[in-house]
């Protein structure tokens, strides 16, 4: 069965949804900034850059797991089919590390995600060495990605980023959140719109694919429009490969929760956030892929390639906004409870009956009660 290795490798706490089946290589622990008031992931944790020796050790352990699965595939009657063998072995994995490798191989074994929050803080030469070591251990890897900060990307030269690209770094995921400086300041993001533009343009110029994350709801009820307009314009300046929505969701572990309790931040509800997203789309003039690929987003179907699909994206937002108040409430609750995934689901009588059973409890309640219930449902996904 599975070899019970005395050693193991570290796995960080998060990754983008698009990297769910990647091999994880942890090069830093936690976040070097760690002040954003809307993020709770690394609060109370110290940032550390792991040594090259530690990182190479982890890659070596992943290679041991790979070799064990490869040997098992031959012995289990799968004819050397790594994918099938990995699918079986993942269910009986003796460690999180082995499970990660098995799941990775089950999905094709082509993508690697470098953790944690901002690998670009590592000196370029060291990160190149790590990337090369990954490629040597796993020649079949086609994509290596990582999180980064705009501020760090702005301080890297384009030549440095090109070196990283040549060594195998395929894509960077950057949290833009907003393009409006007052919102960035309130969120304690540690960057300005100018930093976002410079860092983003540096990445694009290097040939590394860029995925920028937008935080609908970040402006609250008071700055939503300015946030939306400026965000659309900053993204247009950068022209990233991907624009990904991550609707603001707040729990009691975030400093932003205190701002809400003190009345310093008034949250937007789902309908207001759809209006905000519509304004963002209106202000986009780029060739990016627009993606709604997170469970916190109300409209999962907001996906398209700009500029060609701009009208389609606006039409999806308009379709929701044109619903009757009752149907809006129905869809919002059904989506947050997992009954609906698309607006067309409103035409499904079975799904509507599922939602109706829960809607009745809000029949005579003020809107604030409904909004609060929705926010509590969203907390499950962060």
Query: What whole-number distance in Å separates Cα of residue 70 and Cα of residue 89?
Result: 11
- pLDDT tens over the chain, length 382 residues: 444 544 589 999 999 989 999 999 999 999 999 999 999 999 999 999 999 999 999 999 999 999 988 888 878 877 767 788 888 888 877 788 889 999 999 999 999 999 999 999 999 999 999 999 999 999 999 999 999 999 999 999 999 999 999 999 999 999 999 999 999 999 999 999 999 999 999 999 999 999 999 999 999 999 999 999 999 999 999 999 999 999 999 999 999 999 999 999 999 999 999 999 999 999 999 999 999 999 999 999 999 999 999 999 999 999 999 999 999 999 999 999 999 999 999 999 999 999 999 999 998 899 999 999 999 999 998 8
Q: Can you name the CATH fold of 172-322?
A: Transcription Regulator spoIIAA (3.30.750)
Domain range summary for the chain, segments of one domain joined by +:
1-148, 172-322, 325-382
Q: What is the pLDDT of residue 6?
A: 46
Query: What whole-number distance in Å separates Cα of residue 302 and Cα of residue 151?
Result: 29
Q: What is the pLDDT of residue 7?
A: 56
């Amino acid at each position: 069965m599975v070899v019970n290795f005395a050693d193991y490798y570290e796995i960080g706490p998060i990754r983008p949804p698009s990297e769910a089946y990647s091999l994880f290589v942890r090069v830093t622990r936690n976040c070097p900034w760690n002040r954003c008031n809307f993020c709770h992931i690394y609060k109370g944790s110290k940032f550390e850059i792991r040594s090259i020796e530690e990182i190479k050790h982890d890659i070596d352990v992943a290679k041991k797991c790979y070799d064990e699965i490869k040997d098992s595939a031959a012995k289990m009657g799968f004819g050397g089919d790594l994918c099938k063998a990995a699918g079986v072995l993942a269910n009986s994995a003796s460690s999180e590390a082995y499970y990660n490798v098995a799941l990775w191989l089950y999905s094709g074994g082509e993508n690697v995600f470098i953790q944690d929050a901002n690998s670009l803080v590592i000196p370029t030469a060291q990160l190149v060495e790590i990337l090369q070591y990954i490629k040597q251990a796993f020649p079949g890897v086609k994509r290596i990605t990582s999180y980064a900060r705009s501020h760090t990307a702005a301080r890297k030269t384009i030549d440095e980023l090109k070196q990283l690209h040549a060594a195998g770094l395929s894509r960077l995921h950057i949290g833009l959140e907003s393009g409006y400086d007052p919102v960035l300041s309130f969120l304690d993001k540690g960057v300005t719109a100018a930093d976002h533009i410079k860092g983003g343009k540096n990445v694009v110029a290097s040939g590394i694919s860029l995925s920028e994350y937008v935080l609908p709801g970040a402006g609250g009820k008071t700055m939503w429009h300015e946030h939306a307009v400026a965000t659309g314009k900053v993204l247009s300046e950068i022209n990233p490969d991907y624009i990904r929505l991550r609707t603001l969701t707040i729990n009691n572990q975030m400093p932003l929760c205190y701002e809400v309790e003190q009345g310093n931040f008034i949250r937007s509800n789902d309908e207001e956030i759809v209006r905000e997203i519509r304004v963002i789309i209106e202000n986009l003039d780029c060739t990016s892929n627009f993606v709604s690929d997170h469970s916190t987003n109300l409209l999962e179907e907001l996906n398209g390639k700009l500029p060609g699909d701009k009208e389609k994206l606006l039409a999806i937002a308009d379709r929701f906004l044109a619903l009757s108040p009752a149907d809006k409430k129905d869809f919002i609750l059904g989506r947050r409870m997992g009954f609906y995934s698309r607006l067309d689901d409103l035409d499904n009588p079975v799904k509507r009956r599922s939602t109706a059973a829960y809607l009745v409890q809000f029949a005579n309640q003020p809107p604030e009660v409904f909004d609060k219930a929705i926010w509590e449902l969203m907390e499950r996904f962060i």
